[in-house]
Chain A
Amino acid sequence: MSLFISFAFLAVLLITIFSKGLPAFQQTYVKLDIELDEATLGINKDSGEDALFSANYGKVVKNSLREMFPDVKGRKQKRALKNLVSKSAAYDVRDLVLEKPTLLGTKQSYWFLAKDDVDVFMKGNIDRSLPESDRRIKDYQLIWIDKLLDEGRLEKRFNTVLFTAGDSREPEQAGMKGAIVGSLLTMLVTLLFSFPIGVAAAAYLEEFAPQNNRWVDLIEININNLAAVPSIVFGLLGLAVYINFFGVPRSTPLLGGLVLTLMTLPTIIIASRAAIKSVPPSLKEAAIGLGASRVQTLFQHTLPLAMPGILTGTIIGMAQALGETAPLLMIGMVAFVSDIPSGIFDPSTVMPVQIYLWSDSPERAFTERTSAAIMILLGFLVLMNVIAIILRKKFEKQWSEKYGMKLLNFHS
């Protein structure tokens, strides 16, 4: 019964996220005819790159809209007209001209990102029948949108921006790439620190530490306690130790990775110890009886046999770290970062923090993007768990086929 209820809740959760998030994988585009007039832009084919770069491309976009709707009057309506397309349209035109200056003087038609309000309307999330004062889209805007639709100038396409752009204040320009890259870099740092330290600590505690020693007992108790410490405490620790004492640059994947290492270590150590403990002592004895030193025994026999268990624990720890938000809030990874980080020293954000930021944004279009971001995060988590299972199966198969020995017996 309880199983049924929990499955029902899970289903409701997933259905809600998917139904809300799926539209975010589509984005409305507007087709505009752009008159690349040399006089309006104040440049010509022979202008230098700087001049080409800083020309007023916004104006040609505006002109193109005016041309389509010549009877628009008043500042308010003119601004509303301009806001049919995203601000990124001007940059798109600039990039086109920079790439191919010979286009100047011609008339071209291109697809541009529509403004988020238009996008929300196109996805049916703004009700036409509401009184005008309660709507984000005014009556005159509706007329324009209908006209654009009639002319086939509005279209929904796959939202590549979501995967290729960094974060933005404008929902239509906001993407996950910065957060995905940030998460991957953070995970890399976490793995590089926590795996060797965790396995070494587990090996020491299982194989080398003196028994019935007060210090060793103290360390063991603390490791077990660390696993239960609220994760935000690790954030505070990172703030106090890494930033204030060691001066690690804040908001970086390096710092995030170091903090998450602290959080993941107990998981990896506990799983690794269990895996090492389950290696039959007779094998260690055999190696020692043949004259292998304890270190050789560890590296040649114990660790290879314990590896499936160690890897499973590590990946579970990594998945836990991937979804972690609280400690990162304390170390500045919650900042708005629109650039895609290019290394572990660049300010960045991570996926769960990105979700948190988007869920907090007032624009209606961010709602569906939040759900979409959750779907992407869940996708990564599922991927990691699948990798863990595949690795385990692979190792087990390898052992049982190659050595006629079932590791399953002492790893599960």
Chain B
Amino acid sequence: MIDISKRSEFDIEIKGTVGKPFVNNPKMSSRNCDVFYGDKQAIFDVNLDIANNEIIAMIGPSGCGKSTYLRVLNRMNDTIPICKVTGEHTLDGEDIYAKKQDPVLLRARVGMVFQKPNPFPKSIYDNVAYGARLHGLASNRAELDEVVESSLIKAGLFKEVKDDLNKPGTGLSGGQQQRLCIARAIAVDPEVILMDEPTSALDPIATALIEELMDELKENYTIAIVTHSMQQAARVSQRTAYFHLGKLVEVNETDKVFTNPEHQLTENYITGRFG
């Protein structure tokens, strides 16, 4: 791997975050977030608010910590034994790393969609119903049917699969599988959906469908998306956060980031000088 820190375009000091990382009445917020993998520090002092019903895009070169930061927000990093997260993280003002906070319940409120479509080797119906069953969201079969149907409708998949609900989820195309995973996340009725490069394994048409879907979903959900595609960030998000080597460099309205970035590093990245 090329060490980008040796390149001159990068050799710029980062003095805190520029732009507008804070909003009034945030849905989620982080203060002084540090993440360590063993002895190695992956994230340095990130301060960020995520507003209600917005799509915030996180961009940056590989290894900049954007995915790691995303996983801080629903405590997925807990599953990595050597990973240590510090700082203050809240959802609706509640500390999500508090001792009394059950990570299992947190993940029901903050859902996640992964880079690679990963439907369970079960039927389409069981895939969507899994989370609802797990959290006891439906008391009988009819209610469960309704949850499955509405989730699939919201994920824009219902028309395509309504006759094949008992067929395996793994038999769908890549794009359909990813929408199935979104439907599966929605079925738990989360407040925030974290998406970790959800379209990187998909073709442009499937990507377009998912982007449209995200636009609809933001009416009801708050979405944080990590993406490698700057065009995607520009198309779907309201705000964009630029990460660099574990530091949050700049947060601004997406238009501003892509037309008139405040920080030199952001400009270098979006103009394609590195990354």
Please indicate whether A and B come from the same complex rather than being unrelated chains: yes
Interface flag for B218 (CB, 8 Å): no
Q: Which residues of A contact B116 (CB under 8 A)?
A: 282
Cβ distance B74 to chain A, nearest Cβ, rounded Å: 7
Interface flag for A108 (CB, 8 Å): no
Indicate whether A293 sits within 8 Å of B118 (C-beta atoms), given known contacts A288-B76, A404-B168: no
Cβ distance B181 to chain A, nearest Cβ, rounded Å: 7
In Å, the complex CA distance between A296 and B136 comes to 14
Interface string of B115-141 (1 = CB under 8 A from A): 010111111000000110011000000
Question: Does A289 lie within 8 Å of B121, measured CB to CB?
Answer: no
In Å, the complex CA distance between A335 and B59 comes to 76
Question: Does B170 lie within 8 Å of A405, measured CB to CB?
Answer: yes
Interface flag for A128 (CB, 8 Å): no
Interface flag for B142 (CB, 8 Å): no
Cβ distance A63 to chain B, nearest Cβ, rounded Å: 76
- Which residues of chain A from 263 to 316 have any CB-CB distance to chain B below 8 Å in the complex? 280, 282-283, 285-294, 296, 301, 305
Indicate whether A290 sits within 8 Å of B184 (C-beta atoms), given known contacts A403-B122, A403-B168: yes
Q: For B120, B185, B188, which residue has the most chain A Cβ atoms within 10 angstroms?
A: B120
Interface flag for A402 (CB, 8 Å): yes
In Å, the complex CA distance between A290 and B108 comes to 6
In Å, the complex CA distance between A294 and B121 comes to 18
Q: Which chain B residue has the least Cβ–Cβ distance from A301?
A: B120
In Å, the complex CA distance between A187 and B181 comes to 44
Interface flag for A399 (CB, 8 Å): yes
Question: Does B81 lie within 8 Å of A210, measured CB to CB?
Answer: yes
Question: Does A211 lie within 8 Å of B81, measured CB to CB?
Answer: yes
Indicate whether A288 sits within 8 Å of B79 (C-beta atoms), given known contacts A282-B118, A283-B118, A399-B121: yes
Cβ distance A196 to chain B, nearest Cβ, rounded Å: 24
Cβ distance A302 to chain B, nearest Cβ, rounded Å: 11
Q: How large is the interface on A (under 10, 10 to 19, 20 to 34, 35 or more residues)?
A: 20 to 34
Q: Which residues of A contact B118 (CB under 8 A)?
A: 280, 282-283, 285-286
Question: Does A289 lie within 8 Å of B112, measured CB to CB?
Answer: yes
Q: Which residues of B contact A211 (CB under 8 A)?
A: 81-82
Q: From the candidates A210, A286, A399, name the one contacting B114 in the complex (CB within 8 A).
A: A286
Interface string of B170-214 (1 = CB under 8 A from A): 110000000001001100100000000000000000000000000
Cβ distance A110 to chain B, nearest Cβ, rounded Å: 64
Interface flag for B105 (CB, 8 Å): yes
Q: Which residues of A contact B74 (CB under 8 A)?
A: 289
Q: Which residues of A contact B107 (CB under 8 A)?
A: 288-291
Interface flag for B104 (CB, 8 Å): yes
Indicate whether A286 sits within 8 Å of B168 (C-beta atoms), given known contacts A399-B121, A403-B121: no
Cβ distance B144 to chain A, nearest Cβ, rounded Å: 15
Question: Does A404 lie within 8 Å of B120, measured CB to CB?
Answer: no
Q: Is the interface of A mostly helix, strand, loop or mixed?
A: helix
Question: Does B168 lie within 8 Å of A282, measured CB to CB?
Answer: no
Interface flag for B111 (CB, 8 Å): yes
In Å, the complex CA distance between A92 and B235 comes to 95
Q: Which residues of B contact A291 (CB under 8 A)?
A: 104-105, 107-108, 131, 134-135, 188
Cβ distance B227 to chain A, nearest Cβ, rounded Å: 18
- Which residues of chain A from 369 to 407 have any CB-CB distance to chain B below 8 Å in the complex? 399, 402-405
In Å, the complex CA distance between A404 and B177 comes to 13
Q: Which residues of A contact B105 (CB under 8 A)?
A: 291
Cβ distance A134 to chain B, nearest Cβ, rounded Å: 72
Q: Which chain A residue has the least Cβ–Cβ distance from B126?
A: A403
Q: From the candidates B79, B122, B130, B171, name the one contacting A290 in the complex (CB within 8 A).
A: B130
In Å, the complex CA distance between A339 and B102 comes to 59
Interface string of A31-64 (1 = CB under 8 A from B): 0000000000000000000000000000000000
Q: Which chain B residue has the least Cβ–Cβ distance from A305?
A: B121
Q: Which residues of B contact A282 (CB under 8 A)?
A: 114, 116, 118
In Å, the complex CA distance between A403 and B120 comes to 9
Q: For A211, A293, A403, A405, which residue has the most chain B Cβ atoms within 10 angstroms?
A: A403
In Å, the complex CA distance between A287 and B107 comes to 10
Question: Does B135 lie within 8 Å of A287, measured CB to CB?
Answer: no
In Å, the complex CA distance between A282 and B171 comes to 17
Q: From the candidates B79, B82, B120, B123, name the one contacting A283 in the complex (CB within 8 A).
A: B120
Q: Which residues of B contact A402 (CB under 8 A)?
A: 123, 168
Cβ distance B193 to chain A, nearest Cβ, rounded Å: 11
Interface string of B219-240 (1 = CB under 8 A from A): 0000000000000000000000
Question: Does A290 lie within 8 Å of B185, measured CB to CB?
Answer: yes
In Å, the complex CA distance between A292 and B184 comes to 13
Indicate whether A287 sits within 8 Å of B82 (C-beta atoms), given known contacts A292-B134, A296-B134, A403-B168: no
Q: Which residues of B contact A294 (CB under 8 A)?
A: 79
Q: Which residues of B contact A290 (CB under 8 A)?
A: 107-108, 111, 130-131, 134, 184-185, 188
Q: Which residues of A contact B170 (CB under 8 A)?
A: 403-405
Q: Which residues of A contact B134 (CB under 8 A)?
A: 290-292, 296
Cβ contacts A to B, 5 pairs, < 8 Å: A211-B82, A283-B120, A289-B112, A291-B107, A403-B123
5 smallest beta-carbon distances between A and B, as pairs: A404-B171, A403-B121, A403-B168, A289-B112, A282-B118
Seen from chain A, the residues whose Cβ lies within 8 Å of a Cβ on chain B are 210-211, 280, 282-283, 285-294, 296, 301, 305, 399, 402-405
Further contacts, 4 of them, CB under 8 A, given A285-B76, A404-B170, A405-B170: A282-B114, A285-B118, A291-B135, A292-B134
